[in-house]
């Protein structure tokens, strides 16, 4: 029976990069092994259903074997408009909760061909090939109570952060297993000098480490980690951290290779379904211009093929094709440097497709 991939393009650059990624899938899926379904989410769903995550889309999610997700949200300065208000929370966060997607992995790969566009000097990048960030996805401040209230004529706001040990254990186990496959260490990042959730995080990760004596564990405070990512990124192999810290640190790590537009991500849940999406957002500043970098979305497809369908050869084929295109000197504007071929989102994908057929 055919496997179903649900495609949720969302907003901003989402539909543009998804369109290009489906062209790549067409080339890879020569046996027509997949049944592709399409759904609305985010502002695009709001336009039709006045909801960011309508039941129609939720049903499609439950029928899918894997989800290829674009991105959601509008311009930050328009976030008070009904269409964009709480859009991310109501759509992607709700979707993660519905599918119980507890673990998110984000590989920040440094491409030799792009070494010169990294904001870091070459010597700082020496020895650094890829940092894998494992982010717990269903706990922390995102899913606690959010309140705004007045007291004694002052305005207050609070966001409640909560973790239970099972959530932390799951993330830690995933990180140790990933480190084992990469022959690298795990850096667990927290704020255990201040936060109760981080104290529990550190205790549970240390307990899990006892089951992986072959993997080195180090603990690092999040403020130090932000600095170390820039000073000495080569020291990191696998980073495991809580939801909020993971969100921020993975954007920081994505800058090391040169652009957020190159970083894919995969999220996994208990029921086996995987969701694959770029690490960045909907990039309203460049939406509709065919200038977005499609790499993060295309590489998310590669993760989908590898992790949801064990299609390792095809996933590697896509990753190699992207590397080939970079080596050949094609660049979207976010990674452009003088002397290279400046191409649009669709032209970059043309080159990826050409490389796949070589
Ligand atoms: P963003 O990630 O959309 O953009 C940050 C910067 O990175 C922008 O300059 C953008 O142009 C650039 N960028 C991102 N992807 C790119 C790509 N593929 N190619 C070239 N450049 C790229 O973050 P933001 O501007 O802070 O947020 C915009 C909207 O996205 C907000 O509504 C936010 O809520 C939403 N958002 C959604 C998700 C998600 O869907 N999972 C994640 C983060 C932010």
Q: How far is Cα 41 from Cα 307, in angstroms, rounded to an integer?
A: 23
pLDDT of 114 over the 80 cut: yes
Q: Give one DSSP letter per residue of 150-165, joined into a string.
A: EETTEEEEEE-----H
CATH tag, 1-106+261-358: 3.40.718.10
Ligand 1 mean position to 75 CA, how many Å?
9
pTM (predicted TM-score): 0.93
pLDDT at residue 41, rounded to an integer = 98
pLDDT at residue 122, rounded to an integer = 85
pLDDT at residue 116, rounded to an integer = 86
Nearest to 52 by CA among 93, 20, 111: 93
pLDDT at residue 264, rounded to an integer = 96
The count of other CB atoms within 10 Å of the CB of residue 170 is 20
pLDDT at residue 183, rounded to an integer = 79
Averaged pLDDT, 198-213: 98
Cα–Cα distances (Å) from 37 to 40, 67, 257, 347, in that order, read 11, 9, 33, 25
Averaged pLDDT, 148-161: 97
Q: How far is Cα 327 from Cα 113, in angstroms, rounded to an integer?
A: 5
Q: How confident is the model at residue 254 (pLDDT cuts 50, 70, 90)?
A: confident
Query: What is the separation of C-alpha 239 from the centre of its chain, rounded to a whole number of angstroms?
Result: 14
Structure tokens at 211: 């089951």
Least confident of 95-99, 259-263, 268-272: 268-272
Ligand 1 mean position to 28 CA, how many Å?
28
Q: Is the Cβ–Cβ distance between 129 and 257 less than 8 Å?
A: no
Which residues line ligand 1 at a C-beta cut-off of 6 Å?
13, 71-74, 76, 88, 92, 259-261, 277, 280-286, 292-293, 296, 334
The domain ranges of the chain are: 1-106+261-358, 119-256
CATH number for domain 119-256, candidates 3.40.718.10, 2.40.10.10, 3.40.50.261, 3.30.70.1290: 3.40.718.10
pLDDT digits (tens, 9 = 90+) for 298-327: 999 999 999 999 999 999 999 999 999 999
Structure tokens at 323: 């590397």
Please, what is the average pLDDT of the chain? 95
Known active-site residue 223 = yes
Do 1-106+261-358 and 119-256 have matching folds? yes
Tell me the torsion sign for CA atoms 159, 142, 260, 77. Answer: negative
pLDDT at residue 123, rounded to an integer = 86
Q: How confident is the model at residue 207 (pLDDT cuts 50, 70, 90)?
A: very high
Catalytic one of 142, 163, 174, 336: 142
pLDDT digits (tens, 9 = 90+) for 211-223: 999 999 999 999 9
Known active-site residue 191 = yes
343 contacts: CB under 8 Å, gap ≥ 6? 330, 331, 332, 350, 351
């Amino acid at each position: 029976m055919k496997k179903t991939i649900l495609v949720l393009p969302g907003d901003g650059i989402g539909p543009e990069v998804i369109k290009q990624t489906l062209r790549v899938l067409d080339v890879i899926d020569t046996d027509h092994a997949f049944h592709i379904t399409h759904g609305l989410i985010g502002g695009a769903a709001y336009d039709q259903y006045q909801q960011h995550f309508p039941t129609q889309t939720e049903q499609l999610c439950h029928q899918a074997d894997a989800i290829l997700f674009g991105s959601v949200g509008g311009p930050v300065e328009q976030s008070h408009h009904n269409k964009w208000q709480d859009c991310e929370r109501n759509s992607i966060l709700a979707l993660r909760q519905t599918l119980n997607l507890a673990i998110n992995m984000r590989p920040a790969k440094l491409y030799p061909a792009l070494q010169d566009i990294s904001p870091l000097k070459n010597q700082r990048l020496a020895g650094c090939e890829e940092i894998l960030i494992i982010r717990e996805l269903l706990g922390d401040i995102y899913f606690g109570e959010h309140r705004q209230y007045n007291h004694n004529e002052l305005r207050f706001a609070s966001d409640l952060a909560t973790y239970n040990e099972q959530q932390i254990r799951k993330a830690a186990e995933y990180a140790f297993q990933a480190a084992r496959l990469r022959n690298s260490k795990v850096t667990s990042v927290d704020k255990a000098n201040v936060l109760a959730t981080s104290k529990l995080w550190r205790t549970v990760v240390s307990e899990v480490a006892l089951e992986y004596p072959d993997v080195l564990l180090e603990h690092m405070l999040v403020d130090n980690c932000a600095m170390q990512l820039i000073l000495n990124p080569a020291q990191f192999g696998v980073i495991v951290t809580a939801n909020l810290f993971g969100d921020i640190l993975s954007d920081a790590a994505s800058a090391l290779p040169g652009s957020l537009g190159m970083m894919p991500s995969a999220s996994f849940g208990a029921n086996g379904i995987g969701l694959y999406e770029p690490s960045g957002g909907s990039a309203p500043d460049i939406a509709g211009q065919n200038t977005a970098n499609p790499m993060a979305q295309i590489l998310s497809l590669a993760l989908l093929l590898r992790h949801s369908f064990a299609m390792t050869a095809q996933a590697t084929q896509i990753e190699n094709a992207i590397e080939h295109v970079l080596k050949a000197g094609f660049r979207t504007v976010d990674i452009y440097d003088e002397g290279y071929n400046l191409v649009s989102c669709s032209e970059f994908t043309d080159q990826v497709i050409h490389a796949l057929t070589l």
